[in-house]
């Protein structure tokens, strides 16, 4: 058991070896004492073995989790919630448990009820691809990315230290925030863009495909994301997402009104304001 808050002396178990979990394993390789991987998908397990992704891989969490000092849950949100119910029976020593779920409030609430041997902390890296699966993982996925962290009332100094060291090792940037704030912000920066991507894709007739160019492909890229993962997100972050949708609808309605009126001056002013706001958003991100 690692008691020195040191990643290099810790055994790390990653539950879920898809895009996020697989990329994490690649980035952590050589930076921890032992690296274990769990996944229920047979093809993913076979690929992990061929890649020699981790030191040990298994579909049975009971085989690997008792050896871990740090458990990282890299699955869809509702699967994380299910794992938080089953994992405690397999943990026999003080163990840090961290999630990478796309929403935080329900997960953090569930973590509060974990047994005392588990030291919980919430996390969410703001990176990814529209293509999921271990075959799309890469070790630089986290480089320069914001990594939101949500501490619980019971989060220990050891949990904080291991999480921050892990984030530094994989090249991401730690941002501490309350779970509820995280869910409000990510509804605007990630969940709403996905819905707009889906809506734009669905609203576009197939006959226009000969004129699909980079602009359309960029705007609709997220529509190819995993349906299960996205469904979990919207069922665990309903109110913030609905608020984000409402704000966006009001902006679209204003644009529609200006276009209908043929108001050239106000329409151009609106576009100019949008350029300035976009610059401020991007600059704020770069300054962090």
Q: Evaluate whether residue 141 is within a structural domain.
A: yes
For the chain, what percent of residues have pLDDT higher than 70? Answer: 97
Q: Which domain covers residue 146, as residue numbers?
A: 7-178
**Residue 287: what pLDDT?**
61
- Burial class, 69, CB count within 10 angstroms (exposed 0-12 / middle 13-18 / buried 19+): buried
Whether 271 maps to a domain, the answer reads yes
Percentage of residues in the chain having pLDDT higher than 90: 92
Same structural domain for residues 84 and 219? no
* Domain shared by 168 and 240, yes or no: no
Distance between CA 73 and CA 99 in Å, rounded? 4
- Looking at the fold, whether 72 and 33 belong to one and the same domain comes out as yes
Among residues 115, 144, 178, the one where a domain terminates is 178
Residue 244 reports pLDDT greater than 90: yes
Domain-located, residue 1? no
Give the pLDDT of residue 245: 98
270 in the same domain as 143: no
pLDDT surpassing 70 at residue 147: yes
Name the domain count of the chain.
2
Q: Are residues 220 and 129 in the same domain?
A: no
Boundary-marking domain end, from 159, 178, 197: 178
State whether 30 and 172 are in the same domain: yes
| Residue predicted with more confidence, 200 or 92 | 200
Give pLDDT, residue 5. Answer: 66
* Cα–Cα distance, 41 to 37 (Å, whole number): 12
Q: What is the pLDDT of residue 60?
A: 94
pLDDT at residue 116, as a whole number: 95
Task: Provide the pLDDT confidence category of residue 288 given band limits of 50, 70 and 90.
Answer: low
- Which CATH number goes with the domain that contains 30? 3.40.50.720
Instruction: Clarify whether residues 142 and 278 are in a common domain.
Output: no
In a domain, residue 75? The reply is yes
54-92 pLDDT, tens digit each? 999 999 999 999 999 999 999 999 999 999 999 999 998
> Of 178, 198, 232, which one is at a domain's C-terminal end?
178
Q: Give the pLDDT confidence score for residue 128 in this predicted structure.
A: 82
Residues with Cβ within 8 Å of 48's Cβ and at least 6 positions away in sequence, in order, are 17, 22, 25, 37, 39, 54, 57, 134
Residue-wise pLDDT for 160-184, tens only, equals 999 999 999 999 999 999 999 999 9
Mean pLDDT of 196-210: 97
Q: Is residue 68 part of a domain?
A: yes
Q: Answer yes or no: do 78 and 102 share one domain.
A: yes
For residues 55 and 160, membership in a common domain is answered with: yes
* CB proximity list for 142: less than 8 A, separation 6 or greater: 23, 24, 27, 125, 127, 167, 170, 171, 172
What is the CA angle 19-22-26, rounded to 5?
Answer: 130
- Structure confidence at residue 286 (pLDDT): 64
Domain contains 96: yes
150, 42: one domain: yes
* Token pair 């904080």 in the structure block, residue: 160
Tokens of 182: 């995280």
Q: Are residues 140 and 206 in the same domain?
A: no
Residue 11 lies in a domain: yes
State residue 90's pLDDT score: 94
Residues 166 and 254 in one domain: no
Average pLDDT, whole number, for the chain? 95
pLDDT computed for residue 132 by the predictor: 86
2 part of a folded domain: no
**CATH code for the domain in which residue 198 is found:** 1.10.3660.10
Confidence label for 130 from pLDDT (cuts 50, 70 and 90): confident
State yes or no: pLDDT of 3 exceeds 80: no
Judge whether residue 261 has pLDDT over 80.
Answer: yes
């Amino acid at each position: 058991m690692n008691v020195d808050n040191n990643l290099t002396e810790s055994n790390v178990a990653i539950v879920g070896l898809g895009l996020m979990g697989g990329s994490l394993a690649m980035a952590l390789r050589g930076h921890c004492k032992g690296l274990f991987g769990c996944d229920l998908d047979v093809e993913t397990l076979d690929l992990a073995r061929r890649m020699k992704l981790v030191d040990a891989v298994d579909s049975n969490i009971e085989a690997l989790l008792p050896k871990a000092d740090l458990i990282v849950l890299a699955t869809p949100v509702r699967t994380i919630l299910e794992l938080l119910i089953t994992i405690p029976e397999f943990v026999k020593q003080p163990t840090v448990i961290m999630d990478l779920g796309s929403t935080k409030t329900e997960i953090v609430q569930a973590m509060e009820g974990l047994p005392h041997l588990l030291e919980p902390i919430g996390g969410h890296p703001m990176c990814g691809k529209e293509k999921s699966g271990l075959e799309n993982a890469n070790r630089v996925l986290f480089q320069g990315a914001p990594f939101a962290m949500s501490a619980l009332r019971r989060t220990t100094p050891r949990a904080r230290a291991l999480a921050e060291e892990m984030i530094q090792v994989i090249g991401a940037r730690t941002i501490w925030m309350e779970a509820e704030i995280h869910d409000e912000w990510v509804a605007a920066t990630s969940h709403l863009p996905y819905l707009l991507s889906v809506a734009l894709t669905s609203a576009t007739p197939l006959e226009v495909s000969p004129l699909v160019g980079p602009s359309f492909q960029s705007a609709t890229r997220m529509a190819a994301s995993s349906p299960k993962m996205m469904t979990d997100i919207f069922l665990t972050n309903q109110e913030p997402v609905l608020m984000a949708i409402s704000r966006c609808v009001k902006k679209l309605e204003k644009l529609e009104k200006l276009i209908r009126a043929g108001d050239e001056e106000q329409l151009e002013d609106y576009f100019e304001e949008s350029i300035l706001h976009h610059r401020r958003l991007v600059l704020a991100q770069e300054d962090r």
